[in-house]
Structure 1
Amino acid sequence: MQNKNKTVVKSMKLLDLFRTNWKLSLNEIVELSGIPKTSVHRMLGSLEDMGLLHKDHEGKYTLGMLFLEFGQLVADRLDMRQLAYPMMKELRDEIGEAVNLTMIDNMEAIYIEKLDTLHPVRLYTKVGRRSPLYAGACSRIILAHLPESEIETYLKETELKPIGIGTITDKQKLRTVLQQSKLDGYTISYSELEDHTSSVAAPIFDYTNKVVGGLSIAGPDVRFPKEHVPHIIEKVKRTAAEISQKLGYSNQK
């Protein structure tokens, strides 16, 4: 903390509350943040002046429109997202299920692009959603391709909490799954992030041969019968490989 500006850190703590809360009053922000009310009031005023927060007629705060501008700038500058989009659309149109693209950020997976299924019943994964690396195919495939030392450090420091009915919470079982996923070049999850869902994912590599993301097809488990899974695996792996090639990856290096 000694090298960080405390006011900036506290301001970010306030903004972080809006990840999971759409609208908050001053008192709610004080209660959730644990920061003194006078300090919160002062910081909220500054954040509002800068356009980072907006206060409505009820005196409640929401994220300001400046975040929309910044968010679009970040999205536009993610080369992987731009390169992957046409191939993701082709994959979605061919298989008919939702296609998700994740990248690793601070030892979490963050969804940076998605294309919804063509079916009326769908999963509502949002761009910007984060998930732990141990849960869900599109997250776990990244973890599987990290260096062994990083995997072990992650497993030692991370509590495997159940999220869905199929979340892997046993570390030895997870190690086995990770090893097999790396050998196979894909992984499958069943009800790990949401109950009664299935997902197939393959890794994406950059020009340094480093894993940078994951590509998945996901949907309700009733639409993933066993006889169709091999075809889905083939298509996901093929598309992830094409994206990796566009990013400069070559398995000959």
Structure 2
Amino acid sequence: MQAHNKTVVKSMQILTLFLNYPKLTFNEMMELSHIPKTSLHRMVGSLEEMGFLTRDEEGYYSLGLLFLQFGQLVSERLDIRTIALPIMKELRDDVEEAVNLIVRDANEAMYIEKIDTLQPVRLYTSIGRRSPLYAGDSRIILAYLPEEEREAYIENTELKPIAMGTITDKSVLRQSLEDARQNGYTITSSELENHTKAISAPILNSQNQIVAGISIAGIDARYQENRLPELIQKVTNAARRISLKLGSQM
């Protein structure tokens, strides 16, 4: 374990050199890092293979495009939180339900912002909480992923029951995802916690790709059938407002 930790530390030492230098040769990296040639050669090769470093025709190394993707993702998520927060507060005050902002994190969803309800009975949802993409309000993200990604996720994921309403049949899940894309929202019942309901809608970026979901959630007694159309309209409108600020043409 310690050997692995040392490798990670030294790899980070190499990468941080590029905070001050846009391009470096192998010899320059060796001189600046003081890492032995053999070790440096092995680590640089691994970093290049993984996409963290790239080498041009003249032998100069620079940070790979993978860092650009990470940077865009971090920036996008930070921008979403900044843009979404006032709209989330308006939505909470309007419908008096908890409002969540959810993003994809690998094969899970993560709550990155929350405005709590003022109701005395509340759900347990906190910033940083994770949930599977197939269950609850997170499913809106899965619904809007590209078809190949969506299908690969379904094929490789065991649908485990979490609460009494969790979908555990893959054919039912596929139909639910199709309905979500057709309708532009999801309504889920008792999928992450019993006796709860959530309504979620997609947030899209300038390429009309899914980057997040916004949802309201609470105890199911507050989501009567005659109230659902109004709640759906307010959630989808909030999602649309955030998407437009991110450059979406939806």
Q: TM-score, normalised by structure 1?
A: 0.69
Instruction: Please name the residue that 2:5 is paired with.
Output: 7
Give the equivalent residue in structure 2 for 1:60: none
- Written as runs of structure 1 = structure 2, the 5 A alignment for 1:9-88 is 78-88=78-88
Q: In the alignment, what sits opposite 1:64?
A: none
Counterpart-to-counterpart distance in 2, 1:195 and 1:9: 45
How far apart are the structure 1 equivalents of 2:76 and 2:134?
28
Tell me if the contact between 1:203 and 1:211 (Cα under 8 Å) persists in the aligned partners: yes
Q: What is the total number of aligned residue pairs between the two structures?
A: 184
**What pairs up with 1:1-253 in 2 under 5 angstroms?**
6-7=4-5, 78-137=78-137, 139-251=138-250
Rounded to whole Å, the distance in 2 between the matches of 1:225 and 1:76 is: 35
Whole-angstrom distance in 1 between the partners of 2:75 and 2:118 = 24
Describe the superposition over 1:39-74 as per-residue Cα deviations: whole angstroms up to 9, x where unpaired: xxxxxxxxxxxxxxxxxxxxxxxxxxxxxxxxxxx7
Please give the alpha-carbon distance, in whole angstroms, between the structure 1 residues aligned to 2:116 and 2:201.
Answer: 18
* SS of residue in 1 equivalent to 2:141: helix
Q: Contact 1:81/1:113 (CA < 8 Å) preserved in 2?
A: yes
Q: Greater helix share, 1 or 2?
A: 2
CA offset digits 1:145-170 (Å, max 9, x no partner) = 11111111001110000001000000
Using a 3 Å threshold, how does the CA distance of structure 1 residues 8 and 239 change in structure 2: closer, same or farther? farther
Is 1:96–1:119's contact at 8 Å kept on the other side of the alignment? yes
8 Å Cα contact 1:75/1:81 also seen in 2: no
Greater C-alpha radius of gyration: 2
Q: Name the SS of the counterpart of 2:89 in structure 1.
A: helix
Deviation per CA, 1:100-130: give whole Å up to 9, x if none: 0001111211000000111111112010011
How far off is 1:6 after superposition?
2.2
Distance 1:108 1:9, change over 3 A: farther
- Gap regions ≥5 residues in structure 2: 10-73
Q: Deviations over 1:192-250 (max 9, x none)?
A: 00010000000000112110110001000011111101110000000000000011111
Task: Indicate conservation of the 8 Å contact 1:99/1:116, yes or no.
Answer: yes
- In structure 2, what is the Cα distance between the partners aligned to 1:9 and 1:232? 52
- Equivalents in 2 of 1:98, 1:9: separation in Å? 44
Q: Name the CA shift for 1:245/1:174 in 2 (closer, same or farther; >3 Å).
A: same
Inter-partner Cα distance in structure 1 for 2:76 and 2:196: 30
- SS, match of residue 89 in structure 1: helix
